[in-house]
Structure 1
Amino acid sequence: MKRAVGKKKAILPKDILKAITDVNHELKVLSCEELNAATQDFSCEYRIGGSVYRGVVRGNGVAVKEALGHRHRQRTRYLVYEYMENGSLKDWLMDRSRSELLSWNQRVQIALDIANGLDYLHNSAEPPYVHTGIKSSNVLLDRNLRAKIANFSMARSLEGGGFAMAGTVEGTLGCMAPEYLEGGLVTHKIDVYAFGVVMLELITGKDAVIKHEGREKLLSSMMISIVEGRNAQVELSNFLDSIMRDGCQVGLALAMAKLSVACLRQDPDSRPSMGEVVSLLLRLQMESKKSGVA
């Protein structure tokens, strides 16, 4: 670490990286009897949505999902995850009764949780991965409103190189980076772009695509125009989630908006890395606490 001081990017030794990535990666195999008991034979009452069921296994709340396409000798395989009882971030932001309960500091912490998860995928996982589907509906909240990234069905390994080409471009309008949307280029920076959109949703309480003056517009385009305008702070205060106007300083929200816009730059190389995003969000979190903002 001493040798890394002064360098642009500190690289951890291979043995430390391996120790990090090997932590608690042993798969636990559960019997069909355990899953049937946990879900009351996959009762409709236990269904969360689609082919996902909630239950309790060995004292832990879990979500049980059928692993489509993974059948072995006529038997269905299931994936068992930690049950995130507060559902998706999108549900919270779009539901006004729940959005009112998300304070400024909780929103900053949620952004930091997502950023830490992506930083791990990009820089500590071996091999590194790109999620490719970052959006507020793929961020789940636990009982303490701490966030975790979900749905890795489209994740891509970048083993052996820093980029890949997607055969088919899949994603959500308003969340896809231009280089991925137009040419199928997959790098870590498409996750950075999508994360920038999620931060804007956290700040404004609005969807990635919104109706404005009778037309559909991208939230990202509107916020870039505001942040780069002459009266950014005034215009932003009118665009903030109404729940937050009294609860946080507009200056702090503007700082997060500027970070979001940096993540949305057209040139992928000009976007920050997720490690840099984590550092900036930690600084913003400290400033919020110093200012006494709830």
Structure 2
Amino acid sequence: MKLLFFNFFLRNAAVVGVVGVLLLVSGSWWLYKTMEKRKSIKLKQKFFRQNGGLLLQQHLSSSDQGGISKTKVFSSEELETATDGFNVNRILGQGGQGTVYKGMLADGVIVAVKRSTMVGEENLEGFINEVCILSQINQRNIVRLLGCCLEAEVPLLVYEFIPNGTLSEYLLRQNEEFPLSWEMRLQIAAETAGALCYLHSAASIPIYHRDIKSTNILLDHKYRAKIADFGTSRSLSVYQTHLTTSVQGTYGYLDPEYFWSSQYTDKSDVYSFGVVLAELLTGQKAILTNESQERKNLAAHFVLLMEENRILDIVDAQIKEHCPKEDVICVANIAMRCLNLNGKKRPTMKQVTSELERIIQLSQKKNVQQNNEEAESITAEVVSAWDDASTSITCSSFQVDQALSSSDVEPLVPFKTW
């Protein structure tokens, strides 16, 4: 009896021991996962504060712009999955403010994810600024911000995906299979000007872009222009006419007047746009390098040739034979006025947009007239050919009638006599 009791005790003790070990292991695992989850939450909260989440919330609470609050907030896991762990094969481009990756969201939407460089106090404001400005803009030629993520190690911005890269890439790679025609360049110029006009005078508050250049003009699937990169942009009150800031911008596009005075105006954007117009006309970079490796400013070179009446000497070879000379000269004159060293003598973006659109309308009207004239010419030739053919047919019919009236030809239907 004692032996049986002892065996029963041993068996149950073993079962209790196994159950105890399992409970201890599962409890330890649950405790570990709970601690990891709390650690992850604390880390995300830390990144949120580090990436300016509190500053963004402050902007939201003090802003009456409803569009900002509608900006979607993505989780870091969503964007990790979308970009395949920020795979290097997904990189679309890199710049001073970060790297842009191509991604696909869970619903199949293709997006561009901008992963910012490590954010310090000096450039945190630029990141928040871009979110706030783009969130309140709705214009077809300005890239759309879909959302952001602040809980990752560095801030992430999610934009609509623009498939055809930058204007700069297209101008410089000289794509022979699909060259950027004169009509396309003119359209891109007008669309970019229209977007800047919207920022300066049609947005709810005036906005200066402050970094207009061909690498910040993207081309969509229909080669329509989309202005991007608002990291250094600034909004103004209705009563402000300029910004006094430390000089920022890209060499070759920088307004000389702003460089001297540190005062940025809407005419500083106009100057930068003038450089883009010069690029569209010449197909050259804003900073030229000659055979002796000397660097030269395209804007200064362009103005010099215009003053010497030699603009056609540097028109891009890809369009030189296919663009109306008078249209080229009109666009070159607009660029020349935009590049005036005196900002007050430059046109506004509204005036530039109107002039470019007028050139396009006149060009289209000429094409329609030319097509009509060609159609009329073809019609006249067809009518002439038809008249010649009719004459020939009439002559032939007359000969047949003559033959039929001959006495040796018996009629097919004999005449009746009444």
TM-score of the pair, normalised by structure 2: 0.60
Structure 2 CA distance for aligned equivalents of residues 291 and 210 of structure 1: 35
1:161 and 2:229 equivalent? no
Aligned to 1:53: 101
Q: Is the contact between residue 61 and residue 82 of structure 1 (CA under 8 Å) also seen in structure 2?
A: yes
Alignment of 1:7-86 (within 5 A): 26-50=70-94, 51-57=99-105, 58-68=107-117, 69=119, 75-86=153-164
TM-aligned CA deviation for residue 197 of structure 1? 0.5
Indicate how the Cα distance of structure 1 residues 125 and 110 shifts in structure 2: closer, same or farther if over 3 A, else same.
same
Cα offsets for 1:42-99 (capped at 9, x unmatched): 2222122343210122333211012442696775431100111111111111112269
Q: Is the contact between residue 130 and residue 188 of structure 1 (CA under 8 Å) also seen in structure 2?
A: yes
Structure 2 CA distance for aligned equivalents of residues 144 and 88 of structure 1: 13
Indicate how the Cα distance of structure 1 residues 44 and 77 shifts in structure 2: closer, same or farther if over 3 A, else same.
same
Aligned to 1:275: 350
Q: What amino acid is the match of 2:331?
A: M
Give ranges in structure 1 of 5+ residues lacking alignment: 1-20
Q: What amino acid is the match of 1:104?
A: W
Q: Is the contact between residue 100 and residue 243 of structure 1 (CA under 8 Å) also seen in structure 2?
A: no
Q: What amino acid is the match of 2:244?
A: M
1:219 and 2:315 equivalent? no
Cα offsets for 1:224-244 (capped at 9, x unmatched): 222233xx3xx2222100011
Structure 2 CA distance for aligned equivalents of residues 236 and 25 of structure 1: 49
Aligned to 1:123: 201
Larger proportion of strand: 1
Q: What amino acid is the match of 1:42?
A: F
Structure 1 CA distance for aligned equivalents of residues 188 and 174 of structure 2: 18
Indicate how the Cα distance of structure 1 residues 256 and 96 shifts in structure 2: closer, same or farther if over 3 A, else same.
same
Structure 2 CA distance for aligned equivalents of residues 257 and 248 of structure 1: 13
Structure 1 CA distance for aligned equivalents of residues 169 and 177 of structure 2: 9
More divergent stretch after superposition (193-202 vs 83-92): 83-92
Q: 1:251 is paired with a residue of what secondary structure? A: helix
1:228 and 2:276 equivalent? no
Indicate how the Cα distance of structure 1 residues 38 and 220 shifts in structure 2: closer, same or farther if over 3 A, else same.
same
Structure 2 CA distance for aligned equivalents of residues 255 and 74 of structure 1: 50
1:262 and 2:306 equivalent? no
Q: Is the contact between residue 92 and residue 99 of structure 1 (CA under 8 Å) also seen in structure 2?
A: no
TM-aligned CA deviation for residue 212 of structure 1? 4.8
Q: What amino acid is the match of 1:84?
A: I
Q: Is the contact between residue 115 and residue 157 of structure 2 (CA under 8 Å) also seen in structure 1?
A: yes
The share of aligned pairs that are identical, in percent, is 36
TM-aligned CA deviation for residue 41 of structure 1? 2.3
Structure 1 CA distance for aligned equivalents of residues 250 and 68 of structure 2: 32
Structure 2 CA distance for aligned equivalents of residues 74 and 62 of structure 1: 18
1:180 and 2:285 equivalent? no
More RCO (CA 8 Å, sep 6+): 1
TM-aligned CA deviation for residue 216 of structure 1? 2.9
Give ranges in structure 2 of 5+ residues lacking alignment: 1-64, 125-148, 371-418
Q: Is the contact between residue 122 and residue 129 of structure 1 (CA under 8 Å) also seen in structure 2?
A: yes
Aligned to 1:7: none
Aligned to 2:13: none
Q: Is the contact between residue 76 and residue 151 of structure 2 (CA under 8 Å) also seen in structure 1?
A: no
Q: Is the contact between residue 209 and residue 216 of structure 1 (CA under 8 Å) also seen in structure 2?
A: yes
Q: 1:291 is paired with a residue of what secondary structure? A: helix
Q: What amino acid is the match of 1:209?
A: I
More divergent stretch after superposition (273-282 vs 51-60): 51-60
Structure 2 CA distance for aligned equivalents of residues 260 and 23 of structure 1: 35
TM-score of the pair, normalised by structure 1: 0.83
Larger proportion of helix: 2
Task: Please provide the CA RMSD for this pair.
Answer: 2.4
Structure 1 CA distance for aligned equivalents of residues 235 and 244 of structure 2: 11
Q: What amino acid is the match of 1:166?
A: T
Which of the numbers 245, 260, 271 marks the counterpart of 2:320? 245
Q: 1:102 is paired with a residue of what secondary structure? A: coil
